[in-house]
Structure 1
């Protein structure tokens, strides 16, 4: 068998890791998402932003480090090799997060600290940057346990051989930890020493074994190379061996000579040259079908090359330009401008022609904001320029909460039931949240986040909230009975951080938390653009409970308007720079009493009357001509994103879509002995109405109700009388199914 040599050109461009990264690049986001799911070693060139990947992962997992350790909170640990890196990395984390960062190295005298001192440090800081030896000593002496760490980051993790501190920490303590932390390794090389190319795989496997992790560089390698050390490698052909491969399925060894041409910088003509000789062995070569090996990427340290190879002499070139040449250039420019103009006109015409189709191809996303406890009359009378701007672009309407007053669906006009009304599209008689304790939510009535995740598992969901119970209890993040969905981005738990947000009698710390929630929303939406997001702002309700209808309350509403304006700004940014069409909804969970404005425990008109503001220009006649309810937001979001609500769940929904066509609303059902008098309001006269009847309520227990089709009539009849002698019961669920929507009511015999 003959062999052929293949010269591979490698260009290395120096760069630096010191640049501040303002937004995540696609490969950084991809690697962060993978690191949330598994232990990972991120191997990227110097200057490509590995530390920023660590920072956004820290922020993604920060919900578990905001609580006190004494109350079950955890901490993030960042390990480095030198004292200088302790300062550098802690400053970087502090700059890019709002977390409390501590720094620890031997030069600070930490070796003399006792266990009580260390307990104070871990209690008062959320991210702790250590030199590796200091942290290893801490664990060895039982001053701290890895079970209290949610994430441990190893900087320059290729230093993990022999009795190295990194290796010692993993081998002595990690596997013995009952609740080991997530591991993230950062490196620009998979080896800390010079090795032959054939040893790279063994070294990589050893590194993965040490950190119980997988090495990953991301799928967008070209982008990471562009921002860091640029390595361009041609694929190695082995098509000359195809005949032999097809004849026998044996290991095949091919020798190669690789010539490296390394540019010292982008302006210099000086280069360094070297040649590496090595063999490539292919096992089971007949399984390869395209005649090419995957590109082999070699990271060559600059210092190694420069020490062994002196630079070549620089060559200088000059160009002589005479008049004739200038004339030719001028003529070429004129022709280029003319041709360019024709091309520009063609492109503009093409863009105009395809614009409608382009709009349809946009990715649809939703962000809804609940601003706590603002009655409709307040939102209508005070100056809220940002919400007014959104309203003028889209729409505003008064709405209501609290279910149907005086009936089975009456729901308290307080916070948690209000959130659950929106999240499930049902009233409290179904979702079972009647107070702020949220003891037993009925997860059989699926929330909108679960509906999205079950149909599109790759879609991203986010929550930004003061109140951790919104995620943990209402939505059931990670709860099996709630569908075991996990938020991709979660920023909450700030109320547990008494150091950053010390609790004061005026509850001003809640305003500070709302500011943090707003900032995190802005950053997350700008960088990641989740498909469905919930933002909760609490401070307005706290102020109203203290001061009632007052200038303080009005100012709190204006502050919320400013925060909403910042969020609206980033939504506009996404729509301008990405192919995305956003539905932006702002509402409140309840109003306030009409006497003082301090309370909201009853069913007065002012407590029940709320409002909805949206940027959408597609709101239907139900939104504009009637008074919709908070439960109507759920089917509106579902219709906007294109979610399919299964018939079993659709028959339970109390909400009506606020966009698109709607067949009927406001069903009115009266029971007279053995007959039901049923009427409805028609919004779209197309089609028929099917009347379904069930005598059970098994759905609340996760089972399926049996429905009987008892009548079918043209929708314009608007009223029917149904004989129910065949269905004797003290309880009925009546469903009216139109062409575009479904309504339901319960009937309970006295």
Structure 2
């Protein structure tokens, strides 16, 4: 009987072992959620009708696959004191509040209220201190004032004499960084379209202006390629946001509150998380920040008093 019992126990243990082995083999694997990442591409002074006129395959592809808000307000209905120029525009875009809060009225940055209403990198850090942020630009105030606390900063304005060469330097540095580093949020600012508009005119009929957009589109292609070459790309969920700070009329854009050629922007929201198609309703520059934060998994704190809302996401 002892031998029989031992045999029974041995057989049972054998069957249990087989069952455990099968259980281990057939237990479903749970893959980690893709890492959420955001790339913001800012094209200064870029009219949407000129984008449509240009041979811009990368912008076209982002718009076709993504969501588009156009037109997008560059100032709110209740406040017109800030000028229709870059300082207020990029502050609206990158802080997520209008000028009555961030207090940037022009390009002098006389008394900005960034301490109370900082750029979205600061908001991301509040929620996720480990998140890495990076800024690449060739207009000095982006690096020195608006995004002054980025973890990584490249300011081509310090070395390049014009925005054409500055954009080349910005794109090269940003592309290398995007291939090799691990940022959660990156902002790339490109300035030559605005510079060309001031020299030649802001209009889709102005060949040099359209050509500048085409050159910037090539830079955007380099940035997108850098993301695709990342060794961890298959495990990442990138949201690409493209926008501008204002339009232009003639060779300027100041004091353009009542000029629709100046007082409108546009926003492209592209990536797997985007809901393709035209974004219905009225929208503003301040929508970019909550859109970026939502993708990054950051719940907006009402105490931040953001003026926009997330748009274009599924």
Same fold (TM over 0.5): yes
> For 1:602 and 1:409, how far apart are their aligned partners in 2?
10
> For 2:158 and 2:95, how far apart are their aligned partners in 1?
27
> For 1:399 and 1:658, how far apart are their aligned partners in 2?
14
Cα distance change on mapping 1:577 and 1:447 into 2, 3 Å: closer
- Residue deviations 1:561-610 (CA, integer Å, cap 9, x gap): 000010011122238645211111111110112xx254343111121222
Give the match for residue 244 of structure 2. 588
Give the match for residue 13 of structure 2. none
Unaligned runs of 5+ in 2: 1-24
Q: CA deviation at 1:394?
A: 1.9
Q: How does 1:421-436 map to 2 (within 5 A)?
A: 421-436=92-107
Q: What secondary structure does 2:271 align onto?
A: coil
Q: CA deviation at 1:476?
A: 3.8
Give the match for residue 173 of structure 2. 520
Q: CA deviation at 1:417?
A: 0.7
> For 1:568 and 1:518, how far apart are their aligned partners in 2?
11
Q: How does 1:67-78 map to 2 (within 5 A)?
A: none
Q: How many residues align?
A: 285
Equivalent in 360, 368, 391 of residue 63 of structure 2: 391
Q: Is 2:158 the partner of 1:496?
A: yes
Equivalent in 276, 290, 301 of residue 635 of structure 1: 290
Higher-Rg member (1/2):
1
Unaligned runs of 5+ in 1: 1-346, 478-486, 504-508, 662-750
Cα distance change on mapping 1:440 and 1:447 into 2, 3 Å: same
Q: What secondary structure does 1:592 align onto?
A: coil
Equivalent in 567, 573, 577 of residue 223 of structure 2: 567
TM-score (norm 1): 0.36
Give the match for residue 299 of structure 2. 644
Q: How does 1:593-742 map to 2 (within 5 A)?
A: 593=249, 596-603=250-257, 604-619=259-274, 624-649=279-304, 652-659=305-312
> For 2:43 and 2:131, how far apart are their aligned partners in 1?
25
Q: What secondary structure does 1:615 align onto?
A: strand
Q: How does 1:260-279 map to 2 (within 5 A)?
A: none
Cα distance change on mapping 1:632 and 1:394 into 2, 3 Å: same
Q: CA deviation at 1:375?
A: 1.3
Q: CA deviation at 1:471?
A: 2.4
Give the match for residue 51 of structure 2. 379
**Contact residue 69 and residue 280 of structure 2 kept, 8 A:** no
Q: How does 1:38-437 map to 2 (within 5 A)?
A: 358=31, 361-405=33-77, 407-408=78-79, 411-437=82-108
Give the match for residue 119 of structure 2. 447
Give the match for residue 468 of structure 1. 140
Structure number with higher relative contact order (C-alpha < 8 Å, ≥ 6 residues apart): 2
Higher helix share: 2
**RMSD over equivalenced CA pairs, Å:** 2.5
**Contact residue 438 and residue 474 of structure 1 kept, 8 A:** no
- Residue deviations 1:201-249 (CA, integer Å, cap 9, x gap): xxxxxxxxxxxxxxxxxxxxxxxxxxxxxxxxxxxxxxxxxxxxxxxxx
Q: CA deviation at 1:623?
A: 6.1
**Contact residue 82 and residue 106 of structure 2 kept, 8 A:** no
TM-score (norm 2): 0.83
Cα distance change on mapping 1:386 and 1:462 into 2, 3 Å: same
> For 1:599 and 1:525, how far apart are their aligned partners in 2?
33
